[in-house]
Structure 1
């Protein structure tokens, strides 16, 4: 992995500029036990990685606003442990390669933090993210306060560092965009392969295997989240991840899957017929969802509110349901009554970045809908989920359709950077016919 030291240094300097005379503390993610003495593959905490690029557990970062220094604490070099578990940078190499002001052994963290707390006005933490570590810092703060008799002030309050970092992470820099687009491109390749490989009488997990194989083959070692491979009525379960059903000739298959590339997530959904040809009812529902997605994407631009974007999607989906005679009355009436919520029960999208559901709200501090800005990255994912019911025409029973792409807001509009995956009926049927 290439380490772009300048990017992480720049981010740390921005945070330091917000601290004034305060101190910020961040912790690496702990390792997670899978069973007995085996562990899940390590995944660094996104905030910690955003400021350091450092991908080892048992690490911490102190940002000292008093001096402008960034101090990493990490594991020492250990030949025996490295023989068993793999390479460690150690403090000296970590300081040089990642351009920290200092790097020290993690065993010295408590003692060093106590010294940095003295004379600081505030302590900034990612409150609630790692409660045990919050308690650890609190105890050191109390110890620092107890030493005030020496004439050295201790911090008077705790602040939430996420208020600064969430705003920073909401706008992607060029380095982040390059990684997001690579994650999107790998995810797109996997979806295309899945369309080409899908056949009736396969199991859903066999298609999932094609996704995972394509991710890893292109340098994305892990999925960004558990892949959803949902055929038939399973597609009406939003977070279906069992992926164990036999796919029938007449089923639609909904795949919601994305690769994680160097920490950044892809998140694409496509829905297509297992046998390669949409039935009449499947096509009608599909095109209602596609029309909503295209209308939503066309509306995304700087200075439009996310609420306005969501409203465009909702009105298009409700109009589709009325056209299908699944709902009756007017669009406004169906929205006001909430009748549509049986068939569309989620939002139109979410931020995407280091986390697949990335940080940053949809509303500002005054509770007003956030205005989109250049560099924001979001998913656009309308869907209709029509479970079998007596008041629903039988042709539409158990049809679940979602279409999802990843977009970045540009200077005048937006760029769909996952557009390589076919999504019109004609494109999908042509691809599957030529598999």
Structure 2
């Protein structure tokens, strides 16, 4: 089934997509960009997952229909958007919902041409005949990829090129990733609202937190909060890891009952109009941290705060990781968990036993959004309108022998931030990080 649009373009302005396409047209020269919206995925036999369009496709078209193809090519000072969409099938629509016709799509989405998807093989050779380069992400749509390669071998293309092949098939990310990295006002509105929905849902979820409660119950409560507040659901599989499960970075089974004295790490984010929020908090199941749990929590909280304070234009993103790692190492030394000098620990990276991941990732249409972290072999410098997370953590699975008193402590604190002209804006301030406030939240929710 398709996503059954509540409104065209999910409420984004048509001018926004038109402006993005103009930017792409200016970069294409005589090249062509080919994008697929993706297909409906099967869960089993004749049961389908809800459809979500491929992010790059939506970013340039605003169209949420499945099985569509967009071709962008420069044309003088402007360019053409050519869409190929499934033709209407009234019998199928009785089961899956009404689709738009070709003319309606052309009018609503500003396309130069709209054709039936079944005509793609007929038109593609002529559309590619003069393309110097072709931007297409291989390995994502095998049917379209085969059709593309077949079209390049078509007599019409060979004749127009004098048997010359295109200069290359290139990843669209080289055109689009930097564009998507910098968020416009309409994108920021969605991310802010997704962050508020997520924060409020976290608070509401805590009413269900307690010994004997299933991890799946917190998952259900959180995701109910997302839907109740207008989000389409979770932006990624919700993580609810209690006890040792909190030490599994991408744990998502959520199938264990919480026990008294456990911590529970909850990592979740709402998706609103395809844009994601991403928050992690770690709570004491019984409402109070033990002394050892709190000592570890304070180390992570200090690292989290130092990372956020460092965010500003002109700062390398790797530097955010460096300052958080430094704080974590200092804390691990104070707790007697690590031995030796700070310099030696950093050089040998022995801290990675307890903190194996990076501190930040980009956030937007994808939960781990596009955009390189290195530019010309140097760490990327932060600039206004980038959105990213800060999420230090410490994890002590039972594999760490000799640290039995820390066993099954897994703590991560994650927030979403926008780089501004003068520093950063915390997009998730509604959810506290101080240990006492976290304990109060759990206790008050009872």
Q: TM-score range by the shorter chain?
A: over 0.9
User: 2:70 touches 2:82 (CA, 8 Å); kept in 1?
Assistant: yes
- How big is the shift at 1:74? 1.0
The whole-number CA distance in structure 1 between the counterparts of 2:227 and 2:160 is 58
TM (norm. structure 1) is 0.96
Give runs of aligned pairs for residues 336-375 of structure 1, distance below 5 A: 336-364=347-375, 366-375=376-385
Decide whether the 8 Å contact of 1:169 with 1:360 is kept in 2: yes
Is the CA contact (8 Å cut-off) linking 1:120 and 1:153 kept in structure 2? no
Matched, 1:23 2:32: yes
| Residue-by-residue CA offset, 1:258-297 (whole Å, 9 max, x unaligned) | 1111101111000010011111111110010010000000
Whether 1:308 aligns to 2:319 is: yes
CA distance in 1: counterparts of 2:181 and 2:400, whole angstroms? 44
TM-score for both structures, normalised by structure 2: 0.93
Q: 2:435 aligns with which of 422, 425, 430?
A: 425
The correspondence of residues 27-426 of structure 1 with structure 2, limited to 5 A, is: 27-66=36-75, 68-143=79-154, 147-148=158-159, 155-364=166-375, 366-388=376-398, 392-426=402-436
Secondary structure in structure 2 of the residue aligned to 1:65: strand
1:123-178: per-residue Cα shift (whole Å, max 9, x none)? Answer: 22123333442232121012156541697987443232210101111111111111
1:329 offset after TM fit, Å? Answer: 2.1
The alpha-carbon deviation at position 335 of structure 1 amounts to 1.4
Instruction: Give the conservation status (yes or no) of the 8 Å contact 2:208–2:217.
Output: no
Structure 1 pair 162/389, CA: closer, same or farther in 2 (3 Å)?
Answer: closer
Deviations 1:378-412 (A, max 9, x none): 11100000123675443322110000001111111
Q: Distance in 2 between matches of 1:159 and 1:221?
A: 33
From the superposition, tell whether residues 79 and 183 of structure 1 become closer, same or farther in structure 2 (CA, over 3 Å). Answer: same
- Kept in 2, the 8 Å contact 1:120–1:154? The answer is no
Give per-residue Cα distances to partners, 1:194-220, cap 9 Å, x unaligned: 223211111110111101110111111
Give the whole-Å Cα distance in 2 for the aligned partners of 1:390 and 1:360: 35
Cα deviation for residue 238 of structure 1 reads: 0.8
Q: Residues of 1 paired with 2:98 and 2:157: CA distance? A: 40
CA deviations over 1:335-368 (Å, ceiling 9, x no partner): 112221111100001111111011111001x211
Deviation at 1:66, TM superposition (A): 2.9
DSSP-derived class of the 1:17 partner: helix
Give yes or no for contact 1:351–1:378 (8 Å, CA) kept in 2: yes
Whether the aligned pair in 1 keeps the contact of 2:126 and 2:156 (CA below 8 Å) is no
- Please, what is the CA RMSD of the aligned residues? 1.8
Aligned length: 434
Question: Are the aligned partners of 1:26 and 1:62 in contact in 2 as well (CA < 8 Å)?
Answer: yes
Distance in structure 1 (CA, Å) of the matches to 2:352 and 2:164: 56
Q: List gaps (5 residues or longer) in structure 1.
A: none
Q: Is the 8 A contact 1:148 1:154 kept in 2?
A: no
The answer on whether the counterparts of 2:130 and 2:161 sit within 8 Å (CA) in structure 1 is no
Instruction: State the alpha-carbon separation in 2 of the partners of residues 15 and 149 from structure 1.
Output: 25
Partner SS for 2:374? coil
SS of the aligned residue for 2:327 comes to: helix
1:146–1:101 CA distance, 2 compared to 1 (3 A): closer
The corresponding residue for 2:5 is none
- Quote how far apart the aligned CAs of 1:255 are: 0.2
Shift of 1:22: 1.7
**2:242, 2:262 within 8 Å by CA — same for their partners in 1?**
yes
Give the equivalent residue in structure 1 for 2:22: 13
